[in-house]
Amino acid sequence: MFRAVVSRATSVLKPAALVHSKRVPAVVSSVRYSHGKKETDQEFDQRYEEYFNRRDIDGWEIRKALNDLQGHDLVPEPKIVIAILKACRRLNDYSLTTRYLEALKNKCGSHEKQIWPYIVQEIRPTLDELGISLPEELGYYKPELALKSVYDMHG
C-alpha cells in the first residue's frame, strides 16, 4: 500500500516538481536525471558554488545542501566555503557559519594540519568582511560544556 501511495503521489507531484525545478535548475536536474553521465570535479564545484550563490536560497535548502556536501568524500574548495558563508549571511543565521566551519575542519580528518590552515587563509578575507569568527576564536577547539549523562537525568 505504501508503494502504491508513493507512486500515486509522485505522478501527482510531477507538475509540482517541474515548477520547483525552475528555482533550482543546477542541482536538481543534473543530479536526478543524469544516469551514467559522470560529473567532473569542476562541474561539482560549480554546481555547489552556484547553488549556494542563489539569491533566494532558504534555510531548508542550505541545511540540506550542507548535509549532502558533508556526506561526500572530499573537502570542498574554499570558493564553495565562501559561497556558503555568504549564503549564511543572506539568511541572517550566524550559528550556521560556526557549525559549518566546525564540520569542515572535522572533514579534513587526518590531514587537518595541511588542509585547515590553507582553507582559513583562503576564506580569511570573507571572514573579516562578514565579521565571522572561526570556531577556534569562540573557544570551540576544546570542549566547553559537559552533557549530563542520560542515565543520570531522572533520579
Q: Which residues bind other proteins (CB under 8 A)?
A: 1-2, 4-6, 8-9, 11-13, 16, 19-20, 59-60, 63-64, 66-67, 70-71, 89, 92-96, 98-100, 102-103, 105-106, 130-133, 135, 137-147
68 φ, ψ to 5°? -65, -45
**Which is closer to other proteins, CB of 63 or CB of 79?**
63
The answer to whether the beta carbons of residues 51 and 24 sit under 8 Å apart is yes
CA angle in degrees (0–180, nearest 5) for 65-66-69: 85
Q: Quick one: 30 or 98, whose CB is closer to other proteins?
A: 98
CA distances (Å), origin 64, targets 27, 37, 39, 71, 127 = 12, 23, 20, 11, 23
Least distance between other proteins and beta carbon 107 (Å):
8
CA atoms within 13 A on the CB side of 81: 29
Q: Tell the smallest beta-carbon distance from residue 131 to other proteins (Å).
A: 3
Supply the minimum distance, in Å, between the C-beta of residue 60 and other proteins: 5
Nearer to other proteins among residue 42 and residue 149 (C-beta): 149
- Tell me 28's DSSP state: I
- Distance of closest approach, residue 40 Cβ to other proteins, in angstroms: 25
